[in-house]
């Protein structure tokens, strides 16, 4: 059945992919966008979506637009601070905390079938083993602190109001429309030219989860009818991939002959040798399991980039 969908963060990497999937499934898609949004990820679908420009920290504006849309499903993906160059703490608070509070508050006034909030694995901080959803949170950055605050707000409010609100803690998502400065696009764009990009330590690790699997998780969360209000789910493969592993796959898939120069890119504050999801709760409650391993997702991303990615990035 077609749903009226409100999506924040729709011009971001994950949001743009989710918007496309919702359109393919026949839903009516409304995007809440800040006035200075970048459009390159949605240019190809602009005629099929409805755009509403506002600031999420402006509660009156959010209430007004939400009242006009009256959405059945809400996917809240708007965030600031996930990238190293997004370092304005006040903007993190306005977007990640105040924005989340405003969107959920406005939607609760009307009621809804599902509200799915995008969290982050960074809320856990550094752990020596895969954290479960009940593991103590030790955010490892201001961004992670604001995202953890948003998750806690969603959970408490859902329980108090008995509302169908879910948070998905996303691990390292990759695939079509990811920012070109991120590792996987950088590996592919350089690899297509026979090169490798600057690299950090080879044992730096992440749980890389393919975008199509993540979109599946959002839709399963919206349609799930079990679990307690405010439930949180880890969305990662449960398999850790090191930078050395990713480079080896890049060399094999793209036939790159050059050797990596380890340490040619400075380690970032969040780099670690252990970062992997415990996704058993999502498997049990959402019936979600990733369909792509790292290499198959990487190959799919290569094919997308060969077809249209470089042009998209050139025009961004």
pLDDT (tens digit per residue) in 218-251: 999 999 976 789 999 999 999 999 999 999 999 9
pLDDT in tens, 244-296: 999 999 999 999 998 999 877 766 666 677 889 999 999 999 999 999 999 99
pLDDT in tens, 88-124: 999 999 999 999 999 999 999 999 999 999 999 999 9
Parse the chain into domains and list their residue ranges.
4-173+210-235, 179-207+239-270+292-315
Q: What does the pLDDT average to over 42-57? A: 97
Across the chain, mean pLDDT equals 94
Q: How many CB atoms lie within 10 A of CB 51?
A: 15
Highest mean pLDDT among 6-10, 79-83, 203-207: 6-10
Amino acid 269: pLDDT: 61
Architecture of domain 4-173+210-235: 3-Layer(aba) Sandwich (3.40)
Q: What does the pLDDT average to over 292-315? A: 84
Which CATH code of 3.30.70.1140, 3.40.50.720, 3.90.25.10, 3.40.50.10380 fits the domain covering 179-207+239-270+292-315? 3.90.25.10
pTM: 0.95
Within this chain, domains 4-173+210-235 and 179-207+239-270+292-315 share the same CATH topology: no
Amino acid 267: pLDDT: 67
Give the confidence band of 298 by pLDDT, cuts at 50, 70, 90: very high
Task: State the Cα torsion 225-290-309-8 to the nearest 10°.
Answer: 20
Give the confidence band of 58 by pLDDT, cuts at 50, 70, 90: very high
């Amino acid at each position: 059945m077609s749903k009226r969908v409100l999506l924040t963060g729709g011009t971001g990497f994950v949001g743009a992919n989710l918007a496309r999937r919702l359109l393919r499934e026949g839903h009516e898609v409304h995007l809440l966008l800040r006035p200075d949004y970048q459009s390159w990820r949605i240019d190809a679908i602009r005629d099929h979506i409805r755009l509403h420009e506002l600031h999420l920290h402006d509660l009156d504006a959010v209430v007004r637009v939400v009242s006009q849309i009256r959405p059945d499903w809400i996917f809240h993906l708007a965030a600031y601070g996930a990238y190293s160059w997004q370092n304005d703490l006040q903007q993190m608070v306005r977007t990640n905390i105040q924005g989340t509070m405003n969107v959920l508050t406005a939607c609760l006034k009307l009621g809804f079938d599902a509200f799915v909030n995008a969290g982050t694995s960074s809320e856990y901080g550094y752990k020596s083993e895969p954290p479960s959803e009940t593991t103590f949170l030790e955010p490892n950055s201001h961004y992670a602190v604001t995202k953890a605050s948003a998750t806690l707000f969603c959970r408490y409010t859902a329980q108090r109001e008995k509302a169908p609100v879910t948070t998905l803690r996303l691990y390292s998502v990759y695939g079509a429309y990811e920012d070109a400065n991120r590792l996987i696009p950088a590996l592919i764009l350089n690899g297509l030219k026979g090169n490798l990009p600057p690299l950090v330590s080879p044992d730096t690790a992440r749980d890389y989860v393919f975008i199509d699997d993540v979109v599946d998780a959002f839709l399963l969360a919206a349609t799930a009818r079990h679990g307690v209000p405010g439930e949180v789910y880890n969305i990662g493969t449960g398999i850790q991939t090191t930078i050395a592993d990713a480079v080896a796959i890049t060399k094999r898939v793209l036939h790159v002959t050059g050797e990596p120069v380890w340490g040619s890119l400075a380690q970032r504050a969040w780099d670690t040798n252990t970062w992997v999801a415990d996704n058993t709760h999502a498997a049990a409650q959402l019936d979600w399991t990733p369909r792509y391993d790292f290499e198959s997702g990487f190959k799919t991303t290569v094919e997308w980039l060969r077809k249209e990615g470089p042009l998209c990035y050139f025009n961004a």
